[in-house]
Amino acid sequence: MRQMLTQFRSAAVIPLSENKPQYISQDIKDLLKLSTLEKLLDSPSCVIRETTNIIICERALHDQAALSIILDCIKRPDYETREKGVRVFNLLINNILTVGTVQISKIYCALVSCLEHCTTDYEHNSFDLVWDNWYFRDVVEQQALGMLILLVEKFGAKYLIRYRFIDRWLVKEPWGNTIDERQINFAKLILASDQKLNDLVSPILHNSTGVVQLKEVQLVTDGFPINLKYATEIQGYRLHDYTDTFFIDLAQRNSRISSDEYRRRRNREAMVLNDGLRPLGRADIIHRER
């Protein structure tokens, strides 16, 4: 009886299966047809859809013709075509930062051209030091700026300056009605590290050619130092224009905010009224004090 039970036990043992790889090899990826990828994109599994998107992005990144078509869509004046191009390219940006591509200069050119068209897409909000209007921008403009920030962090601002980002988009922002007001608000942006747009402006200040272009469009005064090494060196200090016409001191500005005003800002509530047919603006936000 004992031997029979031992035999039954031995026969019932399930051998351990060999661990199968949880990834798709490059050979299998290359064999997948476009029709197969199209079906996989409609899969109910988010993991399968994500993997399929990665495969398509890798193919597009190494296909110069496909990448050129995407960049051409980004530069189109037509909003819908431009939006599709920006959304598709947003999927490729991580692969470009990791692998790299020979069309870096064309990518900068396309994104700057896209931003130039964005200046007339909707009415932009005026600059506000306390309230960063980054999240009130149109989705196309916001994504284009975000991708430029990633590219500048990786490849530098030389291409940004080469394709005239300053006079094609930056100077067209509503900095103010007069030259002095525009220069003062732009100086405030330089000092405000919490402003998202500062991630693009600071690298330009490190470049002498960029500072020259800023002077040409009168966003900084003629006395602004061309050899400014790091924009962060002026954090917390007064920014003079070196012609004694104005100065900025954020410490003084913040000290003028009373404790009552600070408490009101901290405790205020807001309600947003927007039907989604237009970009979110400050006029859509209704504040209510507690």
Location of structure tokens 């039970």: 5
Calpha distance 77→113 (Å, rounded): 9
pLDDT at res. 238:
41
**Residue range 44-67: mean pLDDT, rounded:** 83
The answer to whether residue 99 scores a pLDDT higher than 80 is: no
pLDDT tens, 163-172?
Answer: 999 999 999 9
pLDDT band at 117 (very low <50, low <70, confident <90, very high): very high
pLDDT at res. 265:
59
Q: Compute the residue count for the chain.
A: 290
* Among the ranges given (23-27, 51-55, 127-131, 143-147), the one the predictor scored with the smallest mean pLDDT: 23-27
pLDDT at res. 43:
87
pLDDT tens, 29-41?
Answer: 778 888 888 888 8
* Among the ranges given (58-72, 116-130, 274-288), the one the predictor scored with the smallest mean pLDDT: 274-288
**Residue range 98-126: mean pLDDT, rounded:** 86
pLDDT at res. 225:
67
Single pTM value for the model? 0.68
Higher pLDDT, 192 or 237: 192
pLDDT tens, 184-199?
Answer: 888 888 877 778 888 8
In three-state secondary structure terms, 206 is coil
239 phi and psi angles, rounded to 5 deg: -100, 105
pLDDT at res. 23:
67
The answer to whether residue 264 scores a pLDDT higher than 90 is: no
Smallest CA-to-CA distance from 130 within 282, 260, 277, 8 is with: 282
Calpha distance 75→64 (Å, rounded): 17
pLDDT tens, 208-227?
Answer: 898 899 999 999 887 776 65
- Environment class of 28 (CB within 10 Å of its CB; exposed 0-12, middle 13-18, buried 19+): exposed
pLDDT at res. 3:
83
Tokens of 288: 């209510």
**Residue percentage of the chain with pLDDT more than 90:** 23
